[in-house]
Structure formats: structure tokens, C-alpha cells
Structure 1
């Protein structure tokens, strides 16, 4: 059955807007728009979190039964084909009498995929549209499905000679205000922020995201790696989202964070934690702030990362270079992207 290309493309763009209203977590953000055969919008829906109706069912709930028959469903993710906390969306669409389904990203789940095939076998016309945009919308969720862990960004600030602090341990401030403002935007863009207990004891950070002009900026949940006790008066105890603790087995802890619905982790600890993630091969991206200053001394930004000879060096792919005030931002990938 031929669709209405203009109406369907507009509806898919709208479905992505709706999807973004949903929370990030264990489930993907999904939006849906139902169109009449002549291209009119009949209803809209999005997924509001685990245990709530999926986007397609949410949209169907806004229609009278006779309106759904013969309609086209535009969905950002392939309708699911399994029963979890809610029933399969593919069956709901079939039962409603929807004639055509257009989706963007394929569902990668072993249990939940197969919705497109089920709809086709039920006589529904199925098509794909805006696949790249659909995958970009849920890129972090897709990363978790493929790897079982959050996407990890490791961040540090350094002098041009590779130091994170002066010889006496002082480090405020190596970088300027523009770089520090960028750090806060990066914090807000991640689901969680990681430091070690050493950083908590030495710097007493609050680890909130303070973004100029955005008093309600999303806050990452702090994760403190290590076994030393966090003092009763530590600033992190006042974080609006509380905090989590984690041990030294990084990969196992990352699996636990993913199970809790955290899709991205911003590692902002000192050299010990940054080196541990790199050494374990668990760093996917690096965000480095280079300050035009020299410090000398022993306080290097990294310690042992498992490189014994030059042939073992960790080559990076630089993805972004930007001047931030007097400092230089370098973003790179480690080759561990999935």
C-alpha cells in the first residue's frame, strides 16, 4: 500500500519530538503518530517510562476504535513483539486494524524484536523511514543493548606538559571559566558522573551540573568508586539525586549501572580512576581540556594504562577541536565505540 510521503515524513519528525519527552532509562524513548488515510493526524503518544503504555498504545488510546481502522502508525522504533510489563505493540496495532506501519530504528532486542515481521504476516504494510535519525535518537540506549554497559566518557584537564595539578596537589584552576562552563554542560548531558573516593576526600565536590541560564538543567547522579568511607559532612551527600557507591570491579559495576537505567557515564575522577578505565578498555570517549600553562612535577594526568612498549600505545581518533577561551578542547574516541 502506498503511503503519503510528505505526511509520513512530517509525522516521523513529530514522533521524534514526542519521544524526547520520555525519560531515559532501561527502556528506549519512543514516539508515535497515527495518521488517517488522507494524511491527517489522528493521535499522538510517547512512552513515559517502565510499566507505562508504549508509544503506539498511548497513541491508540486517544482514538475511537473506528478511527484506528485503516490508519497509518508512524513510530520511531520498530513495534515490540513480546510481553513484558505491557503487551506486544505489534499485536495491539493488529487488533486496532491499523493498515500501515512506518518505523525508523529496528529493535535490537532478542526478545522484543520481530514486530515488523509479525505485522507483515498479519497483512499490515510495513516500511522504514529516517533510519539514521531514529538510531541517533536512542544511540545511547542502543549502545547499552549491544554492550550491556553505559557509554563511558573520561574527562580531564591538563597543562601542556601533561600535569593535572601542581607539585603540592593544588589544581584550581588549570583551565579558564569557558572550559569549566563546558564541563558543566557535559555533566548535564550524561546520566551519571563518576569520581573515586580519593577525589571526594581531597576536593569535596558536590558534582552538580550548574549551567548558565538553565536552572533546571538535568543533573547526573554521582557514582563514587572505591571502598573508603565517605565523610558524614561530605558535599556529595547534599546532591539533589543522592549518590551511588561502586567497588573496584569496573565492568561489573558498569553492568549494574546499565541495569539501573543509566546509559552514559562521565568519569571526572583523578588520574587513578581515569587510568583504571583506560587500562580496562572501558573508556569509549575522551574529553580533554588543554590549558596553555606549564606545571612540571610528578602530578601527571595518567598513570599506568597498560602500555609497556611503544607498540602498545593507545592510538585515538580526534573527533573535535575547539578553542574555549584560552584553553583547547580535544574530544577523541578510543576505538572502543560499538
Structure 2
């Protein structure tokens, strides 16, 4: 069993203004889940050394912070590339946590074939995690029967989301409004979007800024070098074709956790 983590109450208090409200009444009045965008990055804005390569960036303090954030959200969301590269458990390891977040996997084109030995199912069987909900654009009739049964056995499932086909890649892709509507329909009042690069960059598109309630970024004191998976959303321009900043954070605060620094803020266009 993985080591249990602790996160100091005084540190948790610093993050409280950035997190979903604890009031059930406040959550019930929302038309969509509370969205926190959070990830760990190097000084050159890289998430990993290269696509598909697991790269550890967070130190012990910021790692415990990430798991504390998971205790405050009803769901954690990652893209299928993260699942294929890392085989993550997608659970919370804070000692004494009363509940676990629901893992959400974005897999529009059904690239992941779940296996009984995957960590996300192992922690589920051990009572320290939940089975994932997999959001896909593939029709129910085309879902692999074995995968459907494995998910149902552990309490997970596939959820079909309306999808469009990318002209450049011919792959299915989702609109974030449809993703959040699906989570709301499942009774998930808050979601922590953790990665990977394609997921983060797509959510940082100006069309979706109004959907992001909080941004929490761990910055590790390291450069990974060129060729990595970089947080850098598509460029935007004005009507004359002049480049503009994609986004800027406001109401910013900085918090050191060990050798890492955590940046908190709110998006504004």
C-alpha cells in the first residue's frame, strides 16, 4: 500500500479561497461543476521530458498539497495520454480522508483498453479509490464488451459525449461545455483538471476561460529542456493578425512548499 500523506492545516488554510465551497447549498445552485486547473511544471513550462515519458516534478510538500486538493474535489480529470504513460492510481493518499474523488478519463477515440492490473482498479479493490468514468465519443454499440464489464465490476462506466471530428487529425474531440454537463449530470459538483498537456492547453483556449474557477500551478526549480510536453495554448491574434496574450492570471498568490513554489490565481482574458 502507498505511503499515507499529511498536509498541514495552516497550509490548507492558505489555499481555502481557491477551492470549491464546502456549503452544499452553494454547490447545488451552480449550473456546472467548480473547475480547478492544476498541474506541476518546470521553469520552461514543461510537464514531462517527452510525450509518454513519466517525469516527476513535485517535491514532497507540493505532492502532499496535490493530494489535499483531491480531497476537496468530487472528481479528478486526466486525458488518456496520461493514463497510458503513467498508469496512475488517480486516488487521494491524505491520511484519514473520508472520501475519494471520482477519476474521469477523457478518451474520445477509445485508445485505452482497461486491464484488471491497472492501478486505478487496484486501489478500488483495496477500498482506497474509485473506478473511473471514461468519457468517449464512441457509440455504445462499439464499446469493447470486456472493458465495459471490467468497469462495471469496479463501479465505473463509459459515458458517451457528443464529439466533433478534427479536420487536421481526423480524431474525435470534445467541447468542454459538454464535458462539464456530463459531470454535472453524474452529480459531480467539482472537478480538478490535472492534465496532460493536450487537456490543459485545450482548456486554456479563450473560449473556455469562463469555465475555470481557479488555477493552481506547482513550479519546480528545474529546466527540462526542449522537446518536452509544454503548457502553451494555441496563439490568438487580433483582427489585424497581431499576436495577443492568450490569458493572464489575476488575484495572484505565491506559496512555497519545500523547494517548489505554488502559484494560485484566477483567469481573466
Superposed displacement of residue 262, structure 1 = 1.0
Partner of 1:225: 106
| Alpha-carbon separation, structure 2, partners of 1:187 and 1:137 | 14
| Alpha-carbon separation, structure 2, partners of 1:313 and 1:237 | 38
Is residue 150–residue 258 contact of structure 1 (8 Å, CA) maintained in 2?
A: yes
Q: Select the residue among 156, 163, 182 that pairs with 2:39.
A: 156
**Structure of higher CA gyration radius:** 1
Q: Select the residue among 250, 253, 261 that pairs with 1:320.
A: 253
How many residue pairs were aligned?
198
| Alpha-carbon separation, structure 1, partners of 2:22 and 2:48 | 38
1:244 lines up with 2:133 in the alignment: yes
More off after superposition, 227-236 vs 286-295:
227-236
The TM-score, its normalising length taken from structure 2, stands at 0.66
Partner of 1:262: 188
Is residue 79–residue 195 contact of structure 2 (8 Å, CA) maintained in 1?
A: yes
1:235 lines up with 2:119 in the alignment: yes
Is residue 204–residue 247 contact of structure 2 (8 Å, CA) maintained in 1?
A: no
Partner of 1:4: none
Partner of 1:142: 26
* SS of equivalent to 1:195: strand
Is residue 284–residue 335 contact of structure 1 (8 Å, CA) maintained in 2?
A: no
Is residue 200–residue 234 contact of structure 1 (8 Å, CA) maintained in 2?
A: no
Partner of 2:60: 177
In structure 1, the gaps of 5 or more residues are 1-134
* SS of equivalent to 2:29: helix
In structure 2, the gaps of 5 or more residues are 1-19, 137-173
Higher relative contact order (CA 8 A, sep 6+): 2
* SS of equivalent to 1:156: strand
- Residues 240-276 of structure 1: per-residue CA shift (max 9 Å, x gap): 3221111323211211211222111001121111112
